Amino acid sequence: MASGSNSGTQVISMEGPGSQGSCLEPQKLRLRVCDSEWSSLDFDLTRLQSEPIKIKDVHRKEGRPQSLFELVAVVTFLPQPFSFSKLICFQPRYLMVNRTFHTLYVVQSQCEELGTFKIFPQETSVFHWSDADKPLEVCVTLNDHEYSGELRIDSIGEFCMRLKNKYEQDSTILNVSISEETNSFYIAFTDVSYAPPYRL
């Protein structure tokens, strides 16, 4: 069985057991994004699953790193009279939320040469990894500022970071809040330079 749905420029394809399989057998699917390889983790339709589905993009030019897409599934039951049916929605695992009035630049650690995610003020943007073999951490910067240190974004938490201005004796302080909603992580950045996190 194979099916696909088109969302913008990306297509999610699925394959699983044929129509001859029993409804009592495990109902599992594998996914791919566009022309990537099939996911290594089977998605089990018979249970509520929260593990991320990791998909590598292997169809890059020879010698180029493989991107890594992480998806999560949200499984809900439909209301009556379809209460025995499940609605399965696939969505990105990471979403970057820029609550500042600055353009935010996010890059995977050690992967600046592979491109930067540019997030405009008050915008929410999907994030995926540029190189599956490099550390799954990010660095953040603003215009005319130095990059931050490496940040992990796969656990709930809140902290502040200081971005040093390249040309002035000044810094911008960002509050970083990581929350989880419907299995996806929302990483929100807020400018709190007006209120330093500590006063002694």
Residue-wise pLDDT tens digits, 156-198: 999 999 999 999 888 999 999 999 998 899 999 999 988 877 7
- Of 70, 92, 114, the position where a domain reaches its end is 92
**Does residue 185 lie within any of the structural domains?**
yes
User: 85 and 72, same structural domain?
Assistant: yes
pLDDT in the model for residue 67: 87
Q: Domain limits at 112?
A: 95-191
User: 128 and 110, same structural domain?
Assistant: yes
- Of 45, 67, 92, the position where a domain reaches its end is 92
Nearest partner of 7 among 79, 72, 91, judged by Cα: 91
User: 99 and 88, same structural domain?
Assistant: no
- Of 45, 60, 92, the position where a domain reaches its end is 92
Number of structural domains (the chain) is 2
User: 87 and 130, same structural domain?
Assistant: no
Q: Give the amino acid at 120.
A: F
pLDDT in the model for residue 49: 61
Residue 113 has pLDDT above 70, yes or no: yes
Eight-class DSSP state of 130: S
User: 169 and 113, same structural domain?
Assistant: yes
Element at 98 (helix H, strand E): strand 94-98
User: 187 and 99, same structural domain?
Assistant: yes
pLDDT in the model for residue 3: 41
Instruction: Report the Cα 108 to chain-centroid distance in Å.
Output: 12
Structure token digits, residue 178: 């990581």
